[in-house]
Structure formats: structure tokens, C-alpha cells
Structure 1
Amino acid sequence: MNKPAFLKLSISMVIFGSIGFFSKYTGLPALELVFVRCVSASAILAVYWLATGQYKKERWSIKEMLFILGGGVTLVINWLFLFLAFEKTSVTAAISIYNTAPLIVLVAGWTLFREKFQWGGLLATLAAFIGTIMITVTASSAFSHVLLVGSVYAFCAAIFYAGTVMIGTRIKQASPYLVTFLQTFIGVIMLAPFVDFSKYTGLTPENWTFSLLTGVIHTGIVYLLFYGSIRFLRTSVISALSYLDPCVAILLDIFITGFAPSYMQAAGIAIIFLAVSYTVRKNRQEDPATQRQV
């Protein structure tokens, strides 16, 4: 097990778990919020990449550039669908559906990239998914009345997120700084023609604070950690750690909004953490290539 990579991905998933909470306070529609994320993240990463001289150490490859560009497209589309889902239904319901992504990643790893099939990895991922359902089904009565369009958006986001993960595991040489900068800059180019800039004129200082934080923290920092880790981990580990996201979402409800979990929800959280722990133990013996330091 590559411990630095495991820690980085864990941190990125924990931070990402708060994205739904932050998005509610930005006051922006999905498209305009994703654009802010892309602009702020690409600007900060570009300055850091150039100021530190990291660009001098890059190893350029046409094949990897194609992966980076393709991953940038799937990443931005994933964001759009996810924030559209937040607009149409509750964060809890959207996140529940969105968390089918790890299952897609796991199956894709076995079928498309010939990774070794692991019953333990499958069972742990299924257990974590069941834990998520236990949390979300009782988290809000609105779950049983989820709008169809919100459900479709969330599932589309899951598909594109899974695509982003699988493409990201193919990127081995380019630094996380280069990958994240290029992909967020791709987002700027993709979205600029469609952005309604009048949406930014009525924002309060609080709206701007939350909007910029989603760009700097939930985009720049999170995806540096994300791309600096997934290339060194098995898809079974990536899939299991992805379930830290809904755990954080429900814990924010408990400690910030005062939500009290039911016994079933508490059991669901426990199952998720047990599944993650099981996956970690079962993946101690990894390929030598995955043991490189991040």
C-alpha cells in the first residue's frame, strides 16, 4: 500500500464531501459556479507552477496530453451534472446516486484495464454502497420524492466522474500541477461562451467567499491531491475511499445543521468505515510500480 497516496486521496475525498454544503451558499447556478471553480483554480495553479519552477521538471508526452485533455472534458461535464443535480434535488439524494461511481470504476478496472479481480474489493465496495443507502434513505423524507431529472443528472455525473478516474490512472508522468492546471483551463475555454456573466453582479461578499473557496480548495487543492494519488492506487482502493465523501456530508449535517442521525444512519457510517478499513488491509500487497513515492 502506498501510504502517501492513500492519505492524499483520503484527504481529497473528505474535502470533497463538503462541496454540496458550500455550493448552497454561493448563490450561483451550476454553469456559472463551475466556471468560477475553473478560473480560480487554473489561475492559482498556473502561478504556483511557474513560480516554483515545476514546469522545468515536466516530462511531456503526446499520449499523456491526450489523456489529460480527455480527462479535462469528462471532469468539467461531471461538475456540471453534479451541480445541476444539487439544484434539482437535495444534496443527500444527489450524493447517494452520485456514489454509484465507485462501482463503475471498479467494474471498469476489471473489464477495461485487466486489473486483477478481487472478491474482497467487490464486497467492500458493495458494503460501502449499502452503507450509503442506509444513510441517505432515512436522512430526508425528500429522498423518496427525488425529481427524476435530478436523479438523471446525478447518475450522469457519476458516469463522467468514473471516466475521469479511469483516465487519471493512465497519467503517470505529468505532475499533478500540470494535470490540474490544464484540465481546469480546459473548463474555462469550454464554458466561457455559455456563461451568463450578469449572474455575478448581485453576489454578496459571502457568496463570493464560498464561490472562491470552491475554486481554490474544492478544485485546486483537491485535484492536486486527487491526481497525485490515484496513479499509485488500485481501483478497489479508490472505489472504497470514495465513500468517505458521503460520510463527511452526513457528519456536516450533524455538527453544523444539528441533524441527529438515526440508528440506521449511524450503522451505515460504521459500515462505510469498516469497508474502507477492510479494503486497505487487503491491498497491502500491491504491484512494485504502485509503491513509488508520490
Structure 2
Amino acid sequence: MKKSAFIKLSVAMTIFGSIGFFSRLTGLPSLELVFVRCISATVFLSAYWLISGQYKHESWQKKEMATIIIGGVFLVLNWIFFFAAFEKTAITIAISIYNLAPILVLVIGWIFFRDRIRILGILAVVLAFVGTVLISGVSLGDLTSGKSATGPLLALAAACLYALVIITGKYIKKASPYLVTILQTFIGVLMLIPFVHYSLYMHLTAANWFYSIFTGVVHTGIVYLLFYGSIRSLPTPVISALTYLDPLVAILLDIFITGFVPSYLQILGILLIFIAISYTLIKHEPATSKNKSVTG
């Protein structure tokens, strides 16, 4: 294991953990923020891709390009739901539910890919479900009284979409990580052009613009460069373990900066989700250990 790769991935996960905090400083709704993020990341990564000379070594295959495009659609939709969740609920709740993606990959593998079902895996899914219900802070009585569960449901939708991103990513073998990310963020630009409310950008302050572009360049461009520049030199258990830095940083920022105070049941829910995700740290046979946790 390379020390430099360990540091790169640690930095990437720490940076990504702050995305919820910075997204609230942009002054933009989820769709308009994702649009700016896609443009910023595409420009930044394209420049790096060209300057580094990586474009000279790319392999272009039709089937793989189709997979990249499908994954790109899932990725962009995942971002939209993810940022929309921040608008409707606390960052801690959204991040904790969003990080269920590896567990959802596990369930999808059981259903569609006939992966081996394990007792510990079933227990992890049950714990994740209970944890999600607890951390949402929404009870059956709340729903009947009109309290909205929109935020937690948006975060869950984002987690489902991100699980699909992880699965499609398994079938991308030839294209470099940089080309994959460039194509997928560019797909995001094309997807969102017809739906963006451009008038919303007219009212942004200089600070809003800074944070909006910052989330694209830093939380997408730089994070992806660090992430993809490190995972090929690290064992899967280390990658899975370091992804815990993402929700940990997000929760700490939410508590100490934005002032969110979780209830005892929500704290229990967070712990249950962390325990459930820990199942991904267990080493399995090659036939059932294809999935890796990746950033959003």
C-alpha cells in the first residue's frame, strides 16, 4: 500500500464530506447547482486531461461508451436528488442515508446478479433499514399529521441512483477515470440545459458564484483526481474504511457549524448505518466482492 495513495484518498474523502456545507452557501437550488458543478468540473478535468497528455492513451469502445453514458445519467440524477435533500433536511440526515449506497449495491447484487446471500449481509441490510428509519426522525404519527418525509426520501433516492453508478462503473475497464468523469459531467451539462432556470443566476452574489464554482472544481474535479489517482494502489478494505471520513466530516460540520443537534434515536440510527456499512470491510470471495465504495 502506497502512503501517498492513502493520503490522497483521505484528503478526497475529507473534502467531499464538506460538500453539504458548501452547497448551502451557493444560494442555488439543486438543479441549477448541479449544472454549474458539471460545467466547472468538465472544464477543469478536460484541461488536466489535455495538459497531462492522458488523451493520447485513451481507448474508445462503443459498448463501453454506452455504459459511460448510462452511468453519467445515473450520476447526474443522483447529484440532483442529493443536493435537493440538503434543501429539505439536515445535512447529517441526508449524508447518513446517502451512504447506504454500498448496502443497496449488495441488495441489487442479490436480486439481479445472483450474488451469494450471507447471513451477515442480511443483518447489515436490516440494520441499515432500521438506522434509516431512526435517523429520518419521521414517525408514522408525523406522516399522518402532515410532517414531510421529503428530505429523507430524496436522500434515499440519491443513494439508489448512486448504487447504480457504482454498478455501471464495474463494467468500465478501458477508458481512463478522467475520460469517464469528463464525459459524465458533460452529459450532465447537456441533460440540464433545457431545464435550468437561468434567471436564478442573475441574483447571485460574488460569494455565491465563488462557492458554486468551488463545488464543481474542488468537490468534483480535484476530488475525482485524488480519488482515481489513489484507489488503484490501495486494497479494497482500506478504500471502504476511508470512505467513512466523508459522513464523519459532514456530521461534524453539521453539528459544530450549522448547529444541528441529533436526537438520541437519530444518533442510534447513525451508529446502526455505520455498523451496517462496515459489512463492506469484510473480505469476501472474488465472485462476490466486485463492488467498491466511491465518492458522489
Q: What is the TM-score when the length of structure 2 is the normalising length?
A: 0.76
The Cα of 1:281 is off from its aligned counterpart by 5.6
The SS at the match of 1:194 is: coil
**1:288, 1:162 → 2: CA distance?**
15
1:112 alignment counterpart: 112
The Cα of 1:54 is off from its aligned counterpart by 0.2
The SS at the match of 2:28 is: coil
Q: Which stretch shows the higher mean deviation, 66-75 or 221-230?
A: 221-230
1:86 and 2:89 correspond: no
Matched residues, percent identical? 60
Are the structure 2 counterparts of residues 183 and 23 from structure 1 closer, same or farther at C-alpha, using a change threshold of 3 Å? same
The Cα of 1:89 is off from its aligned counterpart by 3.0
**2:118, 2:222 → 1: CA distance?**
31
1:40 alignment counterpart: 40
Are the structure 2 counterparts of residues 146 and 46 from structure 1 closer, same or farther at C-alpha, using a change threshold of 3 Å? farther
1:282 and 2:287 correspond: no
**1:134, 1:3 → 2: CA distance?**
38
The SS at the match of 1:27 is: coil
CA contact (8 A) 2:170 2:290 kept: no
**1:100, 1:83 → 2: CA distance?**
16
1:245 alignment counterpart: 246
Q: How many residues align?
A: 287
String of CA shifts for 1:55-88, please: whole Å, max 9, x gaps: 0111222121111111111101111112222223
CA contact (8 A) 1:101 1:158 kept: yes
CA contact (8 A) 1:110 1:117 kept: yes
Q: Summarize the alignment of residues 1-294 of structure 1 with structure 2, pairs less than 5 Å apart.
A: 11-120=11-120, 123=123, 137=137, 147-225=148-226, 244-257=245-258, 279-280=280-281, 282=283
- Which 5+ residue runs of structure 2 have no aligned equivalent? 292-296
CA contact (8 A) 2:240 2:281 kept: no
**1:237, 1:61 → 2: CA distance?**
31
Are the structure 2 counterparts of residues 6 and 63 from structure 1 closer, same or farther at C-alpha, using a change threshold of 3 Å? farther
Are the structure 2 counterparts of residues 66 and 7 from structure 1 closer, same or farther at C-alpha, using a change threshold of 3 Å? farther
Are the structure 2 counterparts of residues 218 and 106 from structure 1 closer, same or farther at C-alpha, using a change threshold of 3 Å? same
The Cα of 1:35 is off from its aligned counterpart by 0.6
**1:197, 1:77 → 2: CA distance?**
19
The SS at the match of 1:26 is: coil
**1:226, 1:86 → 2: CA distance?**
24
String of CA shifts for 1:218-268, please: whole Å, max 9, x gaps: 112233455567789999987776554332221112443466677777777
